[in-house]
Structure 1
Amino acid sequence: MAMEVEEMEKARIRKRPRLGWDVAPSRPEAQRALVTSRRSSPPKRDDDHEGHYVFNLGENLTPRYKILSKMGEGTFGRVLECWDRQNREYVAIKVVRSIRKYRDAAMIEVDVLEHLAKNDKGTSHFVQIRNWFDYRNHICIIWGTNSGMTMKMLGMVQRGSSDETHFRCLPKSSAIKLIDFGSTAFDNQNHSSIVSTRHYRAPEIILGLGWSYPCDLWSVGCILIELCTGEALFQTHENLEHLAMMERVLGPLPEHMIRRANRGAEKYFRRGSRLNWPEGAVSRESIRAVRKLDRLKNIVSQYVESSRYSLADMLEGLLKYDPSERLTARQALNHPFFRFPRTLQAPS
């Protein structure tokens, strides 16, 4: 036991110094203390009412991994900092909830990450797993902790934390990796009709027109605006309000998309192609939430100076209603905002 503690302390010394943005909140001394335990797994316990794995600090997650701290918690599960006895290093283990849909999503994430790693060209622009295993009905995915990953990178956000907190904690480094592939779908798999996180959901999904790669570019556009302003562009949880927000920021929806909307989306419109707004609003608060939004260029100009015109131009391309007219990923990367960020001037 003494030898193991010594190895752990040496590994901690070798770890990179923590920067201000990724220092975990201080914990009470009693919580930081490690519980002495044998290398055997603890007695089997029932999961909590949400399907999370129940543990104590200092216990083992299989005989190989010793639990040191909880790094974060989110919808899919919890991330634990553990000591890997075999490789003598610290690792982060995402322990997924023991609920079928989350287990299935975790296995898709494993498949995607393994597929990406197999086809990696050496750029490593995505997080790479060390390994995974199934422990007491919990899928466990392993990453190294010395790669600069935080709870945000692991797809885990503490409940009650705000967007403002996350943006203040962003690292100064621009070495960004893609993470959280739990909702990824392969072309040859059955596709759900509803995809994407609500705030980043493309109009073709809401209208029931089907979806493909362009819906991800819409999401990228929404995320870029959020990075710019510090808050989500479309803060809504209801389809009609969401469409009204889109029209407020981007102008009217195209008639040809409205005419093709499925039966479930027809209720959002009246008189053929007119959005049933504000008549169909569920509350006055909803109407006010839509009214406070501004046009896209005005939103961008409030936060960006030198490159605001090129950024607004690119965002307009990413947020085209019609997915066939939306910028592709390659077109977006070749846009002047990325290639010549200070050369595109305001239109005369």
Structure 2
Amino acid sequence: MSREDRQIYDRRGHRQQERVSSWKRDGGGDGGDHRRQGSRRRPSSKRSWERSNRHYDSYDHANTSNGINGWSAKRRRQSPDQQQRDYHQQREPAWGDYPSARRDRTRSRSRDRYPSREQQQHQHKRQRDSRRARNGSGSSGGSSSRGGGGGSGGGRRGQGNGGGGGGGGGDDEGHYEGQSGSVLGDGYEVQEDVGTGTFGRVVACWDRRGRRTVAVKVVRRVKRYHESALIEADILRDVNRAGGAGAALCVRLLDQFDARGHCCLVFERMGPSLYDVLKRNDYRGFPLRYVRDFARQLLEAVAFLHSMGLVHTDLKPENVLLCDLELEPERGRYKDDQDALMLPVSTRIKVIDFGGATYVDDHKSATVNTRQYRAPEVILGVGWCRPSDLWSCGCIVAELYQGELLFATHDNMEHLALMERCVGPFPRHMVRASPVGAKYFDSRGVSRWRRACPEDSRAHIRRMPTIEELVAQDEPSGLGGLLEGILELDPDKRLRASDALRHRFFAAPPPAQQQQQQQPAHRK
């Protein structure tokens, strides 16, 4: 049989030569005409694979970091067995810790916003001086140095007392390790540890001068966290200086100083976060009247920040604190008090954590928000502004109502697919404008998740409820309509905070009817 070449195309459309005669010479054929026999044999040995020089690209998976071009050159030099092993090693580990539909809340929240947040901190550092000039004397008027903090100069920030009083140990990885009874700054006696995070520690302190209990955020002795704390202090002074009802819904900065190289921010003492209460109640949602009060205050705070030209960028239940420390069991619904929801005595809340906040006229980083509260325009890279905060508010309100994360995911492809299942298809103009649109959608604007995601992810996406399914139909409260308005995929059509506050959901029913409102049937 004479040599016969046939033309084939790989997945990218590159024309390749495949020599049928080489198959037979290398043991891949039996001397017959494969086309007449209808055979679809492929090269079966390492030698024949090297001769055929075919391109086999990895699947364009959402989590693939090397990309198609990096794989094609590598695969030409490998045997079939090695290619198959590398293909699975490339694909599978990204889904090794895939969260189930009911996410394990003992895990820490997604931290994939912080690399970009670090970039944002450096960008804000350049802009901090211009904000000080715009505000006149800047931060000096709002920062009490408390007499220089034990001998420090009378600059913008008191330097504390150097040693931090007694009881302090060595700092591990930049964390402050002062013990109970030690003194921070000029008269803040440490009482107890409130919590520890990536940024540092929060400790409850007794203010000897003010005769009150305060919360001191002791930032890690790491440059990027120190810079973020300075940004947060500057923004909080702007917010507190503005005054009014909106400022009262944001945490109040009382003082700022340095202690042993740690930037310390002093705040009023607050209660637990809304996430802490959800966790205490085994992730059972709040009664509707509580959801209404929390949502109203949250939107009022956001409307106030937006009127100042500020975007918070990190709204989530962890960053919404109750003003009251006390919780009490819900009465009248459970025979056993152990099953009763623990509810706050007061529904007053305040928004915290302004370290990632940015002014609308400042340079914006590409990625903001914690993953589960991230707006679609941020994922698609089409630009974000105030509406991204409203999307986060919608995710928070839905979580307060049902008790669980609305979008339980750690992957962009899956996240976008969950959004589509919940609120509808993406606008074509957003997909076309996105620099990564072709990665997640085909030419018709249809999401690629059915082929790109593994089976457990596809099952998770199919279980995603729509807003109509999420909100109990026997509760004509208007909550579903509010969520549809603030979870609009197109940021240009999304409700503004001031418009959302006029929604009928906030027209509270009579008190007698409030007491009769029940939680959705799908809760535990």
Q: TM-score range by the shorter chain?
A: 0.7 to 0.9
Deviation at residue 151 of structure 1 after TM alignment? 4.6
1:202-254, CA deviations, whole angstroms, 9 ceiling, x for partnerless residues? 11111000001011111111111001000110011110010010111112111
Which residue does 1:101 correspond to in 2? 224
Match of 2:363 among 170, 190, 196: 190
Change (3 A) 1:235 1:324: same
Is 1:307–1:341's contact at 8 Å kept on the other side of the alignment? no
Which of 450, 455, 462 in structure 2 is aligned with 1:278?
Answer: 450
Contact 1:307 1:337 in 2 (8 A): no
The residue correspondences of 1:290-309 to structure 2 (distance < 5 A) are: 290-301=461-472, 305-308=474-477
Q: Flag the 1:129–1:243 CA change in 2: closer, same or farther, 3 A.
A: same
* Map of 2:405 onto structure 1: 232
How far is 1:104 from its partner?
2.2
Task: Report the CA distance shift for 1:67/1:269 in structure 2 as closer, same or farther (over 3 A).
Answer: same
Partner of residue 30, structure 1: none
Task: Name the CA distance, whole Å, in 2 between partners of 1:273 and 1:40.
Answer: 59
CA separation of 1:182 and 1:169: change in aligned 2, threshold 3 A: farther
Partner Cα distance (2:213, 2:167) in 1: 24
Give the deviation of 1:335 after TM superposition.
0.7
The aligned length equals 293
- The answer as to 2:259 corresponding to 1:126 is no
In percent, how many aligned pairs have the same letter? 40
Instruction: Report the TM-score when normalising by structure 1.
Output: 0.76
Match of 1:199 among 346, 366, 372: 372
Question: Residue 29 of structure 1 aligns with which residue?
Answer: none
Q: In the alignment, does 2:365 pair up with 1:242? A: no
Partner of 2:17: none
Could you tell me whether the CA contact under 8 Å between 1:41 and 1:63 is conserved in 2?
A: no
Aligned partner of 2:439 in structure 1 is: 267
Matching residue of 1:80: 203
Give distance in 2, aligned partners of 1:68 and 1:166: 32
Structure number with the higher helix fraction is 2
Q: Match of 1:330?
A: 498
- Equivalents in 1 of 2:265, 2:285: separation in Å? 23
TM normalised by structure 2 equals 0.52
| 1-structure distance, mates of 2:232, 2:281 | 26
Q: Deviations over 1:266-306 (max 9, x none)?
A: 3112234111112111x32222221221111111117xx43
What does residue 164 of structure 1 align with? Answer: 283
Q: Rate the CA distance shift 1:170–1:142 in 2: closer, same or farther, 3 A.
A: farther
Is 2:285–2:403's contact at 8 Å kept on the other side of the alignment? no
CA contact (8 A) 2:164 2:260 kept: no
Shift in CA distance, 193/47, structure 1 to aligned 2, threshold 3 Å:
same
Instruction: State the Cα RMSD in Å.
Output: 2.8
> SS where residue 91 of structure 1 aligns?
strand
Equivalent residue of 2:359, what SS?
A: coil
CA shift in 2, pair 1:125/1:218, >3 Å: same
- 1:128/1:169 Cα in 2 relative to 1: closer, same or farther (>3 Å)? farther
Q: Is the 8 A contact 1:78 1:95 kept in 2?
A: yes
Q: State the partner residue of 1:52.
A: 175
Secondary structure of the structure 2 residue equivalent to 1:41: coil
Q: Output the CA distance in 1 between the equivalents of 2:282 and 2:438.
A: 34
Any unmatched runs of 5+ in structure 1? 1-38, 344-348
